[in-house]
Amino acid sequence: MVGLDRLVPLLDGRLGPHINLDNAASTPPLGDVVDAIERFLPYYSSVHRGAGFKSRVSTAVYAEAHDTVARFVGADTSGNTVVFGKNTTEAINKLAFRFPLTGRRVVLSTEMEHHSNDLPWRGRAEVVRARVTHDGRLDEDDVDRLLEVYGRRIALLTVSGASNVTGFVQPIHRLARKAHAVGARILVDAAQLAPHRRIDVKADDDPEHLDYVAISAHKMYAPFGTGALVGRRDTFLQGAPEYQGGGTVEIVTPAHVHWAGLPDREEAGSPNVVGAVAMAVAAQALMDAGMDSVTRHEASLTAYALERLRAVPGVTLYGQSDPEQIADRVGVIPFNVGSMHHALVAAILGYEAGIGVRSGCFCAQSYVGRLLGLTPPEQARWHREHLAGDRSRRPGMVRISLGAYNTNEDVDAVVEMVRRITRDDYDGAYYQDPETGDYRVAGDEDAVRSCFSLTGGPLMQA
């Protein structure tokens, strides 16, 4: 991994390692990815249209990147296409635009979705959401009930492969079978699944086949601005793409357009070739390492983290907190410390222990509100305050999220600091900015600015 050896300033004036426990947001880059980009950049040139040698190299590499990503999710490219875009959000928005939703068709979703797999569907169809249980697990009985109630009106079942809040992994192939039984298709938002579990969309004629999968490279060790939508070719061969322009067409006259084949018609404009190379190299590296061994390592790390965190008095864990029950979850662990503000806990971890975590609602406000047990008046109050510009009482949790490169020592570091926080054993004089709700200590901007400059490279060497 790139940057794990980079020291960062701590509040007491020392430099210490930065421990990234915010992998669900973005992972650091893999060394293989950065190496491949450095090897590729001298050959980088325009794709598709250029006749020069470097253009031919770039075009071939770009096509190979599509194939590698297809292999990463087990997709047969005769029936499926890989469309590169910015990220999972863009991939889902693209599908929401391209997926045929006419008349009274229904999109069946769940109460645990990230906003990126919720908002794109609103306004496109009637969205019904399967409930979650009190601990945040998908209530599959409720999925069955809704499949029964709405039956063939359901055009699409859309579900996160793994939750970015509780880490719960959904039974996606069983859900696929159920969706197909009523004539619907299934989209798996695999932003949080792809870095942690082997994905196999299965053969196109398998009832458990996943029709569409969306993934983000920056969550799988390749943060260079690429994501992918993998899905049925026929979906994209009907109608016109949402973005239209260069690269999407074969023939254009003042009156007519003949759209290009796939994936070109869905990738308008000059593509992010470097990002595609990065994503493909990361996918290949994960396949070479073996997704099963990634899963095993992370499962043991998750069990260790749960065991240690739940032994700290005053810590409330959300979702499934039993270290024995880790088969259907990834290493995303949400918690709070007593009645302390989640953003204060996150700030102390960052300033005093060099630990990067995230706090808040993680783009899943409804789901987090449910897990916190917020009543409707409490929800209404924070909405009111938030919209009035006061974010100081915004609800939320602290989230640690583990990656393939994390170690038991990383877990020990966060548990130790959390334990100190429960005893009020921290040093900083933190103040809260009501406009953001974040906590800071005075003077931290200087430390941030002294670390990296766009023109001069890292100023503060490890």
Binding of residue 192 to ligand PLP (CB under 6 A): yes
The whole-angstrom separation of Cα 435 and Cα 391 is: 6
Q: Which of 18, 66, 94, 114 binds ligand PLP (CB under 6 A)?
A: 114
The whole-angstrom separation of Cα 449 and Cα 462 is: 16
Binding of residue 266 to ligand PLP (CB under 6 A): no
Binding of residue 169 to ligand PLP (CB under 6 A): no
Q: Smallest gap, in angstroms, from Cβ of residue 430 to ligand PLP?
A: 26
Q: Select 335 or 362, whichever has its Cβ closest to ligand PLP.
A: 362
**Binding to ligand PLP, residues 17-76 (CB under 6 A):** 24
Binding of residue 320 to ligand PLP (CB under 6 A): no
The whole-angstrom separation of Cα 398 and Cα 415 is: 13
Site stretch for ligand PLP (CB under 6 A), options 36-44, 85-93, 142-150, 369-377: 85-93
Site stretch for ligand PLP (CB under 6 A), options 87-95, 127-135, 252-260, 350-358: 87-95
Q: Which of 23, 116, 226, 336 binds ligand PLP (CB under 6 A)?
A: 116
The whole-angstrom separation of Cα 232 and Cα 230 is: 7
Binding of residue 401 to ligand PLP (CB under 6 A): no
Binding of residue 160 to ligand PLP (CB under 6 A): yes
Nearest residue to 115 (alpha-carbon basis) of 89, 150, 152, 87? 89
Q: Which of 20, 68, 80, 89 binds ligand PLP (CB under 6 A)?
A: 89
What lies within 8 Å, CB to CB, of 55 at 6+ separation is 45, 46, 47, 49
Binding of residue 359 to ligand PLP (CB under 6 A): no
Q: Which residues lie across from 19 on neighbouring strands?
A: 355
Binding of residue 94 to ligand PLP (CB under 6 A): no
Q: Considering CB under 6 A, how many residues would be counted as binding ligand PLP?
A: 14
Site stretch for ligand PLP (CB under 6 A), options 35-43, 144-152, 184-192, 302-310: 184-192
Do 2 and 29 touch, CB atoms closer than 8 A? yes
The whole-angstrom separation of Cα 432 and Cα 392 is: 7
Q: Which of 20, 58, 80, 88 binds ligand PLP (CB under 6 A)?
A: 88
Binding of residue 87 to ligand PLP (CB under 6 A): yes
The whole-angstrom separation of Cα 357 and Cα 337 is: 14
Site stretch for ligand PLP (CB under 6 A), options 33-41, 110-118, 414-422, 441-449: 110-118
Just list the catalytic residues.
Answer: 363
SS3 content of the chain, % helix, strand, coil (to 5): 40, 20, 40
Nearest residue to 215 (alpha-carbon basis) of 234, 236, 199? 199
Do 201 and 190 touch, CB atoms closer than 8 A? no
The DSSP letter of residue 139 is: -
x/- track of binding to ligand PLP for residues 221-240 (CB under 6 A): ------x-------------
Distance set, CA 30 to CA 22, 24, 36, 282, 406 (Å): 15, 15, 10, 7, 13
Binding of residue 189 to ligand PLP (CB under 6 A): yes
The whole-angstrom separation of Cα 408 and Cα 398 is: 19
Binding of residue 216 to ligand PLP (CB under 6 A): yes
The DSSP letter of residue 367 is: H
Owner of token pair 């970015």: 164
Binding of residue 166 to ligand PLP (CB under 6 A): no
Binding positions for ligand PLP, rule: CB under 6 A:
24, 87-89, 114, 116-117, 160, 164, 189, 191-192, 216, 227
